[in-house]
Amino acid sequence: MQISTTRSTETVSDERLAEVLADPGFGVHFTDHMFRVEWTPDAGWHGARIEPYGPLTLDPATAVLHYAQETFEGMKAYRHADGSVWSFRPEENAARMARSSQRLALPVLEVDDFVQAVQALVEVDERWVPDPAGEKSLYLRPFMFASEAFLGVRPAQHVTFMVIASPAGSYFKGGVHPVSLWLTEEYTRAGRGGMGAAKTGGNYASSLVAQQEATAHGCDQVVFLDAQEGKYVEELGGMNMYFVHADGRIVTPETGTILEGITRASIKELAEKLGHPVEERKFSIQEWKDGVASGEITEIFACGTAAVVTPVGALRWDGGEVATPEGGGLWSRLRQALVDVQYGRAADDFGWMKRLV
């Protein structure tokens, strides 16, 4: 892919940047540039460019605003101690976006083009990649949307793919603490044949009211059950789940209606390397309740790019609660193993890291 570059003439000053990187928060500050490429049926992907970061001008009839034909990805760029900048399994994000896009009837952007786009943006905005202390990183948000101005219901004939970047601090302020979960019995996130396995804004839109319910009950996150039987654990709003058993085995809900997390897949490989076989299967809410009560389940954790791995605390629902299992700290060892690879402090035995700058 041929990428043209128009450099910003109003880049943020070194002083201001240092201030931002000292306490970046999440998703509030954006880098000086953005990547953009357009698609039409006749020309395919064309006009790839890096340009100054700024607002988009959209026709009010732009299809995505009405019918939510959209997909996105979430990934990070990590600075290593020698100053180099790396990403974690970016081809997996690219491949997942291709699958999501197929589900949303959007055109597929080739894996190589996706990775090239991400790399091009990180190259021009390299000074925005924070130092690794405190688990800081540059969060990358590739996204694709129906940019055709047309109110008819059909796949858009004009599509835009962009990448924006935002420095991020650690997900946990003041140390990792267990997240409490609200079990929603009213809402589900995905049904059979639906788009639960696609990373698309609509899944997030539908999860917000359940998240509100969780917050109203004093919980940090919501856990969804399967839509068909209301029996099996699916995932949190944006994190996959793992259940550690007394014999060292780990169970994680099978794929199909859940989002196939790249952290989930990586944790599976790391856990198996540490001698913990991982079973992917249906896991019922009853098995959760019974397993904690009997001591069969020793630990529960959730994972995703933003938090990496977080221990799960109490589970609450209307009229009940399951306490937090004691825990043997496996979540913490896995988390450490993963961030050590990401920040270049441990050998990259699986070949997961790709150098960007």
- Contacts with ligand PLP by CB under 6 A lie at 74, 199, 203, 235, 238-240, 259, 261-264, 304-305
Report, in Å, the least distance between residue 284 CB and ligand PLP: 20
Residue nearer to ligand PLP on the CB measure, 33 or 189: 189
Report, in Å, the least distance between residue 152 CB and ligand PLP: 29
Report, in Å, the least distance between residue 204 CB and ligand PLP: 7
Residue nearer to ligand PLP on the CB measure, 12 or 307: 307
Report, in Å, the least distance between residue 69 CB and ligand PLP: 17
Q: Return the amino acid letter for 192.
A: R
Report, in Å, the least distance between residue 96 CB and ligand PLP: 7
CB burial class (10 A; 0-12, 13-18, 19+) of residue 109? buried
Phi, psi (deg, nearest 5) at residue 140: -115, 135
Report, in Å, the least distance between residue 230 CB and ligand PLP: 19
How remote is the C-alpha of 18 from its chain's centroid?
Answer: 26
Residue nearer to ligand PLP on the CB measure, 47 or 74: 74
Residue nearer to ligand PLP on the CB measure, 264 or 335: 264
Residue for token digits 């900048």?
A: 85
- Cα(46)–Cα(319) distance, integer angstroms: 56
Mutual angle of helices 262-273 and 330-342, in 10-degree steps:
110
Handedness of CA 93, 94, 98, 99 (dihedral sign): negative
Report, in Å, the least distance between residue 190 CB and ligand PLP: 9
Return the SS3 of 252.
strand
Residue nearer to ligand PLP on the CB measure, 38 or 269: 269
Nearest alpha carbon to residue 339 among 76, 26, 69, 49: 76
DSSP letter string, 145-181: EE--B--SSS--SSEEEEEEEEEE--SSTTS--PEEE
Nearest alpha carbon to residue 335 among 267, 253, 240, 262: 267
Return the SS3 of 295.
coil
Residue nearer to ligand PLP on the CB measure, 33 or 268: 268
Report, in Å, the least distance between residue 82 CB and ligand PLP: 26
Q: Return the amino acid letter for 327.
A: G
Mutual angle of helices 111-124 and 90-103, in 10-degree steps:
120
Do residues 184 and 100 touch, judged by C-beta distance below 8 A? no
Report, in Å, the least distance between residue 50 CB and ligand PLP: 25
Task: Count the Cβ atoms, other than its own, within 10 Å of residue 173.
Answer: 8
- Cα(261)–Cα(284) distance, integer angstroms: 20
